[in-house]
Amino acid sequence: MSRLSAMIDAEALHFIEPDYSALVNNGEPGVLIREASPEKNGARILLDTEGNPLLFAVKNAGEWYATGWLFRDPSAEELELFGNADGTFYEEERGEIESAFREEFSSRIAKTVTAVGEDLTEHRIEMIRSLLAEKFGTNLSGTTCIDACCGSGIGSSVMRSFGAKPLAYDNDEELLALGFSCGRLKTDEAVCIDGRIASAYMPDADYGVGIMFGQMYSYTKEIWQPIVEELAGITKKTLITVATEEEAHWVQEWAAGVGRDLKISENPRDPIYDRWVCFG
């Protein structure tokens, strides 16, 4: 039984959405779940403590089928289905529900995706730890940090050690699987999404890190620009590292487009991966 299924006292949940990124879909999940014929008392809605509905599940032929309302409103037809089935409401803290959703989908990656080989050395991790400590300090308890394009989780691991709550994302399941297997990432903190639309999934946060963004070329700028804009747009203090000075100026320009002033500096710790730092 997963944490989400336990919250509504149900057996295993079969989600209409195939992955976490599909939770923003406003069409197909709602249509599909309405095709169910729930048993009597076989419908459940999970609310947060402010009464917002975040999860809908129906029991059909002995199995529980679910859809998420984290990022979309319930349809009138879904609510009608709940009423016709004489459904039951459950309630949990929103933060716990959001965490359980991340865990629901990322646990699948951790269990089924083969991780790539280790991509970090302890020396590299310590260089990043030194850089982040210099820029952010080490007493970050009670704050949230977005770890964009997190890879196997170097940024999350370091910021967690400073007391921050990481929320990480990447679009590479094999790198995420490595992060889960080695403990730098946690399944209730990281998800597989497209960083170009991160703000559709991620809340505003105190801090944001993008470790080793790039490599950026003239023909990939249209990919990296929205990734930078999204991270800069949802974080109060942002640090992005790149390999070249040219990339740093691109990052600075893109961040300025969303009202963020990131200063460029050279990082003497690492002459290769994180040589240039954009921070502000």
Walk me through the domains of the chain, giving residue ranges and CATH numbers: 3-112 (no CATH), 122-279 (3.40.50.150)
Summarize the confidence of residues 251-258 as an average pLDDT. Answer: 98
Other CB atoms closer than 10 Å to residue 14's CB: what's the count?
A: 11
CA 65/CA 279 separation, integer angstroms: 45
Residue range 52-103, pLDDT digits in tens = 999 999 988 888 999 999 999 998 888 888 888 889 999 999 999 999 999 9
- Which of 229, 210, 213 has its CA nearest to residue 145? 210
CA 43/CA 85 separation, integer angstroms: 6
pTM of structure? 0.94
Element (H, E) at 156: helix 154-161
Residue by residue, DSSP assigns 244-274 as: SHHHHHHHHHHHHTTT--PEEEE-TT-SSTT
CA 96/CA 118 separation, integer angstroms: 31
Q: Which pLDDT score is estimated for 35? A: 64
* End-to-end C-alpha distance for the chain, whole angstroms: 43
The maximal CA–CA distance of the chain, rounded, in angstroms, is 66
DSSP annotation of 26 reads S
Residue 53: both structure tokens together: 């509905």
Burial of 24 (0-12, 13-18, 19+ CB in 10 A): middle
Residue range 17-64, pLDDT digits in tens = 999 999 997 666 555 666 666 667 789 999 999 999 999 999 888 889
- Which of 63, 61, 174, 155 has its CA nearest to residue 117? 174
Convert 59-122 into a string of H (helix), E (strand) and C (coil). Answer: EECCEEEEEECCCCCCCHHHHHHHHHCCCEEEECCHHHHHHHHHHHHHHHHHHHCCCCCCCCCH
Percent of the chain with pLDDT over 70: 95
Q: Which pLDDT score is estimated for 37? A: 67
Residue range 119-165, pLDDT digits in tens = 889 999 999 999 999 999 999 999 999 999 999 999 999 999 999 99
CA 135/CA 251 separation, integer angstroms: 18
DSSP annotation of 233 reads H
